[in-house]
Structure 1
Amino acid sequence: MADDRALPAPPPLSVVIPCLNEAERLSLLLADLQRWPAGYELLLVDGGSTDRSAANAALAGARVLSSTPPCRGRQLATGAHRAQHSWLLFLHADSRLPPDWAECVSRAISRAAHHADAEMGTAWFFRLRIAPSTAARRLLEWAVQLRSQLGQTPYGDQGLLIHRRLYDACGGFAPISLMEDLDLVLRIGRRAHLQSLPCPISTDGRRWDRCGVIRRSWQNARLRRRWRQGEPPERLAVLYAR
């Protein structure tokens, strides 16, 4: 069996981050991204931040793009359209990556390069971790991983690694304010397999803090059901923000 350590360095990566007033958390993610061993392109798509999000990203070498008014689906689509490399990694601005994230992503890309049509047959996501850790959040993380692997429906806070050919073939992100992640992964699932990377991504627990894990999870499930029934994402986004 081939040794992964002997695989060539991965091709350059385009990292796309939609952002709105996340200066503090974004700075931590920008530091995590410095671990990528090969050349990479960083695109921050700002939805009209009034803090130092855009300035901090520019200092870290990012191409800062403006997409206003804020709409995460449109911001992600804008970043993907402007990205120059074949491999795309989509991340939320409040995410944190583990020390070995670059190795995990590099191996996934290298393996894809050594298997016919793997670039069109697989997309990857990270295992979710919610910070800070609590017993209820650990249970939620387990449920999320089960849903992601068996149901093939990871969400945006788990990141998405995908080759541009597959991204384009699936139609890319729709310019919608909510459910843009589920909308895309459902289309990916009709063409390819979504696979978990063997490392976690940490997301900030603010939205669970406001009303608790159980209540927030129930509210999210209701919003997903209403979206599947045809309710406009823009209306659901207002409810989600409450």
Structure 2
Amino acid sequence: MSEPPSLSIIVPALDEAADIAAALQALAGLRRRGAEVIVVDGGSADDTLARAAPMADQTLSSARGRAAQMNAGGRAAGADVLLFLHADTRLPDDADTCIHDGLADGSHVWGRFDVRIEGRAALLPVIAWAMNRRSCLTGIATGDQAIFVTRRAFDRVGGFPPQALMEDITLSRRLKTLSRPACLHQRVTTAGRRWDDNGALRTIILMWSLRLAYVCGVSPARLARWYGHGYDKTR
């Protein structure tokens, strides 16, 4: 009987045919060391799944939406620790060891990495520093930071909430009732497309406006419509 994977890496994807091969190739070393990679497609109009299949342990289809896709991947995962990775985010080579060390003493049941944002905008290093610092202070993580969690904790809080936006914020709040996050200072690298394409200041204002509206009780469905008007990247 084969051993279960050491880590399940769940990648939600939508129309990522141009980039999915590179994203999965970057995970090859982790797969060789026992991690499994699960790609969950949300109804791509291109051949994302076909391109992903040779470099993933599982390829699944689900309803569109990161929350639904990541929950589907979580249900299919074979490891005791789940890592949710955006297709445009790259992990450090030793991510598995970092996660193991972060959870080893039992005081944390989940965590996230620091982030570095790769792009043209001069403000990106400042934005990344602020994201990392804010996350450490508040215990709230974003999807760009590659959230990881034990399966037991993920199941206990009911997974990602079925909402169109801010699913990572709500999951963090739920997981904080179980433990503070392990804030790993090793960095993932995420693409700065939204800041480059839409302008750094404009994107900062948009994201903080959405967060404030969410705290004030505006529904995620309405926030998703505002997000779509303010920023054209497909969710």
Q: Same fold by TM (over 0.5)?
A: yes
Alignment partner, residue 41 of structure 1 = 36
1:53 aligns with 2:48: yes
Q: CA RMSD, aligned part only?
A: 1.9
Alignment partner, residue 219 of structure 2 = 232
Q: 2:177 aligns with which of 158, 166, 190?
A: 190
Q: 1:159 aligns with which of 135, 141, 146?
A: 146
CA drift of 1:133 comes to 5.4
Length, aligned pairs only: 225
CA drift of 1:25 comes to 2.8
Aligned pairs for 1:104-115 (under 5 A) are 104-109=98-103, 112=104, 115=105
Q: 1:103 aligns with which of 97, 120, 134?
A: 97
Q: Distance in 1 between matches of 2:40 and 2:204?
A: 28
AA paired with 1:143? A
CA drift of 1:100 comes to 3.4
Q: Tell me if structure 2 keeps the 8 A contact 1:72–1:175.
A: no
Q: 1:63 aligns with which of 53, 58, 61?
A: 58
Q: Distance in 1 between matches of 2:152 and 2:137?
A: 24
AA paired with 1:168? D
Alignment partner, residue 142 of structure 1 = 129
Unaligned runs of 5+ in 1: 1-9
Aligned residue for 2:155, secondary structure, equals helix
Q: Distance in 1 between matches of 2:211 and 2:131?
A: 14
Q: Tell me if structure 2 keeps the 8 A contact 1:44–1:79.
A: yes
Unaligned runs of 5+ in 2: 230-235
CA drift of 1:220 comes to 0.7
Aligned residue for 1:128, secondary structure, equals strand
1:123 aligns with 2:110: yes
AA paired with 2:116? R
Q: Distance in 1 between matches of 2:198 and 2:74?
A: 33
AA paired with 2:139? Q
Q: 1:222 aligns with which of 192, 204, 209?
A: 209
1:23 aligns with 2:17: yes
Give the TM-score taking structure 1 as reference length. 0.86
Aligned residue for 1:224, secondary structure, equals helix
Q: Tell me if structure 2 keeps the 8 A contact 1:100–1:199.
A: no
Q: Distance in 1 between matches of 2:39 and 2:87?
A: 9
1:90 aligns with 2:84: yes
Q: Distance in 2 between matches of 1:13 and 1:73?
A: 19
Distance 1:17 1:149, change over 3 A: same
Give the TM-score taking structure 2 as reference length. 0.88
